[in-house]
Amino acid sequence: MSDTSPKNTPLPPGSTIGILGGGQLGRMLAVAATQLGFHVHIFSDTPGPAFEVAQSHTVAPYEDEAAIAAFARSVDVVTYEFENIPRATAEAAMAHAPLHPSLKALETSQDRIVEKAFLSGLGIPVAPYAVVTRHTKKSINYDVPGAQPKYPALLKTARFGYDGKGQVRVESEDDLTDAHTQIGLVPSVLEERIAFAREISIIAVGDVDGNVNSYDLAENVHENQILKTSMIPANVPDNLMPMAHVMAERIVRALDYVGTLAVEFFHCPDHPEGPLLVNEIAPRVHNSGHWTLDACLCSQFENHIRAIVGWPLGSTRRHSDALMTNLLGDEITTWADIAADTSSAFHVYGKGEARSARKMGHMTRLSPLTRE
């Protein structure tokens, strides 16, 4: 496909969107794209749920730059459903088609050390943290002026950690050596465990013209460090929504970001840095935004597609309150009961094996709008 079109020229229906990643997020992106009249080409190192709803797919290693180049030449724009894409992969795709979100967004979110420094540089508060490069006390460098993590803390790998993977609790400084050994002696972040009231998140979307819209705040509950439920509206003061939007907008603009972005917060009403501390960002559609599929006219997935093809953004307003519940592992076997619930929408991801803690689908219970 040609990559000579001006940046802001909208792609018409019938154009082809390339998606790096074949999981459930890629599946939902592909469904949103086809509903708008686009063709979808999935690239993944293994066949996944997204293959079932895409017109084309390529199976090859992400390190196969020749395969990536052939894939990118066959599409009009490239996006991705997960952030751990090698830099060389992104660059090989960019040589032949526009890539959204930006390479800077990928690089920033792939490394917790880089991400926290980026957020702090924007004046956005984060939990006090230290960078650990070796497993000796002398290796701890406090990168945030005046802030030193207190114990208990969490030691998190700088790269390749999600859904609680690559994290170890550290009760005291004496435990740091053992904790660092457990996660493979890799560069890590030692983050103070914040006494927060709740975890919340905002889903923002930026377009090619610099406009930024946000969905309502979701209140999230995790079980074993995996998201279990998202409730909308969040049980927080009304002034937190504009505050969260301003932070998300600042991040979107600093990353030259096009597409859907998730920002996760700790709500800390009495914290000296303010009531919202950013936990992490995700440069993609996000599990805590799945409720938008059923409670909004335009979901996070459709708005991502609209953004990357240069269309106007759709409405982010919700028409209902919502409670999204992830179905993990064998919970999907209750599908008949869930399908019989007339107040809930049911989404199955098409995965074969219901392994423990594996996200197999989700349900969203809708109720009348209580407040906007």
With contact defined as beta carbons under 8 Å apart, do 264 and 199 qualify? yes
- Which pairing describes strands 16-20 and 39-44: parallel, antiparallel, or unpaired? parallel
In the chain, DSSP finds a helix count (H) and a strand count (E) of 10, 18
Sheet containing 16-20: give its strands across. Answer: 56-59, 39-44, 16-20, 77-80
**How many whole angstroms separate alpha carbon 140 and alpha carbon 187?**
11
Reading the chain (372 residues) residue by residue, the pLDDT tens digits are: 434 444 568 999 999 999 999 999 999 999 999 999 999 999 999 999 999 999 999 999 999 999 999 999 999 999 999 998 999 999 999 999 999 999 999 999 999 999 999 999 999 999 888 888 765 555 555 444 444 667 888 888 888 665 556 788 888 777 777 887 888 878 888 888 888 999 999 999 999 999 999 999 999 999 988 999 999 999 999 999 999 999 999 999 999 999 999 999 999 999 988 899 999 999 999 999 999 999 999 999 999 999 999 999 999 999 999 999 999 999 999 999 999 999 999 999 999 899 999 999 999 999 999 976
Q: Residue 164 has what DSSP assignment?
A: T
For 112, the token pair is 């917790």
For 162, the token pair is 């999600």
pLDDT for position 343: 93
With contact defined as beta carbons under 8 Å apart, do 188 and 248 qualify? no
Q: The pTM is what?
A: 0.92
Beta strand segments in 234-353, E: 259-267, 276-282, 320-328, 344-348
pLDDT for position 165: 64
Please give the distance of CA 153 from its chain centroid, rounded to a whole number: 23
Q: CA angle 90-96-99, nearest 5°?
A: 45
pLDDT for position 144: 45
Closest-CA residue to 81 (of 26, 16, 160, 163):
26
Closest-CA residue to 362 (of 335, 316, 324, 307):
324
**How many whole angstroms separate alpha carbon 50 and alpha carbon 33?**
12
**How many whole angstroms separate alpha carbon 149 and alpha carbon 51?**
44
Domains and CATH numbers, the chain: 16-99 (3.40.50.20), 128-192 (3.30.1490.20), 198-368 (3.30.470.20)
With contact defined as beta carbons under 8 Å apart, do 38 and 310 qualify? no
pLDDT for position 145: 41
Query: Does 312 sit behind a cis peptide bond, omega within 30 degrees of 0 on the bond before it?
Result: no
